[in-house]
Structure 1
């Protein structure tokens, strides 16, 4: 039997903080306890924000923590064609449609409607109802479009509810996925030739990831991932959605909030051993 495979998959769009350190160290600890493998994946499809300099800084931070990973490291920006193949399969099955709406259009149209699990307006389906001739004309003119999944059509293909195993916290349990709560999510962005959702499920499958250990803030996104795994006939890993590390104000550590980075802590004289102890890894 092949050993279990774990992965840490950060996006180098800012400096790593203690929340990243916790997730990375937990993946390493669980891989070691299971006699498994630990992989590092760089999720850098957003090449506008994910720069080579930030990637190198991220690798330096992880090395400073004492992490070791298998080489070569998969860098998503080098594999866009693989994600395009998965997207094309969904297009051929009539499950994706182009969306020409701006963020402002969506905000106005969905302001009084239902909200997704992250609290954002669910896309009201404006472009889903557009005539094919109009879609084709606008695409032929070179108008920028995102591609959304027709969620109702995709869910109608399911013969049974989608489930996944949520491990950790003492016992495994079966969770039911609810992708319909997200509405017609974007699977190909206007500015990037793919999306996080497509890339992550494709890479987990081709890297043979058996256990996805990530933050609790991604629990609801697993419903989208389970749907894509079903539609693309991909294997289903075990999931562990771990606790988040908060700051002094009780807010989740975040790059956008300017949370103190590992580099900041290092400059203040904090050692890797100090970080490990503070996060519960002796």
Structure 2
């Protein structure tokens, strides 16, 4: 890569191949392409396929075909997260060695039972911005010797960030620069509202939070353009960037495409699939108009 290329703004469109693209993805892809062109920058394509169960080569092929139909090009090579698990594991290991993560052994069923029992007594259990209950303190407070024995026994576990310890270590207020469709300017990060987030599971060597900050750093991404549904998750990403000594991109969280009921479009529901629109004879220009560009 030449010096001039390193100095250019770098954008990335990063879909997951766990279903067909819909209009919301089209809006994000167009905005990344348009902003890259307007700034004489570069556009990368990243396939976020850490979920080896739901992500398939067929869905990836569909993504590439849909982007080509929309008229969106990208630099080669395409980065596939499934090909870079060792890099995410290296980042996780660095956090393990600093005592910033802990093995979490409770199953989803066990967590649900504890939360239900607590709330049945009239108490309120803390939840993250997505409505998911915070993980109980059981494993965070478990004696280290006991945790080591459980790990040695092969007991299934995840790795969770010790949020309190991480925040104590940073010892500073965290901010990110936002230029998107909601609040703009310097946004104060609030990673504590997420509780002890998962960084790795037994069935997925890396979480979205961990892999995305590692990828953005390794790819030299300077501008992250994505939907407003990920606005609050940026707080976790800023914390991980500080803990791992990674650069901070500029963030642009754009409006969402909603259905007639005001609900965010979903792959699982097959909402406004681009393949269906293409089958109706629509063009990429038609889709631009549909998403309000």
Scaled to the shorter chain, the TM-score interval is over 0.9
> Out of 64, 88, 94, which is 2:99 matched to?
94
Unpaired runs of 5+ residues, structure 1, are none
Q: Number of aligned pairs?
A: 281
3-state SS of the aligned residue for 1:199?
helix
Q: Does 1:119 align with 2:131?
A: yes
> Out of 177, 180, 202, which is 2:192 matched to?
180
Q: Does 1:253 align with 2:265?
A: yes
Q: Does 1:79 align with 2:79?
A: no
Farther-moved stretch of structure 1 (258-267 vs 77-86): 258-267
Corresponding position of 1:265? 277
Corresponding position of 1:233? 245
Corresponding position of 1:54? 59
> Out of 142, 157, 165, which is 1:145 matched to?
157
Is this contact kept in 1: 2:14–2:48, CA < 8 A? yes
3-state SS of the aligned residue for 1:61?
helix
Corresponding position of 1:158? 170
Corresponding position of 2:122? none
CA distance in 2, matches of 1:24, 1:109: 41
3-state SS of the aligned residue for 1:123?
coil
Corresponding position of 1:205? 217
CA distance in 2, matches of 1:156, 1:132: 20
Structure 1 position 171, deviation (Å) = 9.0
Q: Where do 1:37-52 residues align within 5 Å? A: 37-52=42-57
Farther-moved stretch of structure 1 (130-139 vs 154-163): 130-139
Q: Deviations over 1:73-102 (max 9, x none)?
A: 100000000001000000000011101111
Structure 1 position 104, deviation (Å) = 1.4
3-state SS of the aligned residue for 1:7?
strand
CA distance in 2, matches of 1:68, 1:196: 25
Farther-moved stretch of structure 1 (51-60 vs 161-170): 161-170
Q: Does 1:65 align with 2:70?
A: yes
CA distance in 2, matches of 1:171, 1:195: 26
Is this contact kept in 2: 1:211–1:237, CA < 8 A? yes
Structure 1 position 256, deviation (Å) = 2.0
Q: Does 1:32 align with 2:37?
A: yes
**Given the two structures, how large is their TM-score scaled by the length of structure 2?**
0.93
Judging changes above 3 Å, is the alpha-carbon distance between structure 1 residues 170 and 116 closer, same or farther for their aligned structure 2 residues?
Answer: closer
Unpaired runs of 5+ residues, structure 2, are 120-124
Corresponding position of 2:24? 19
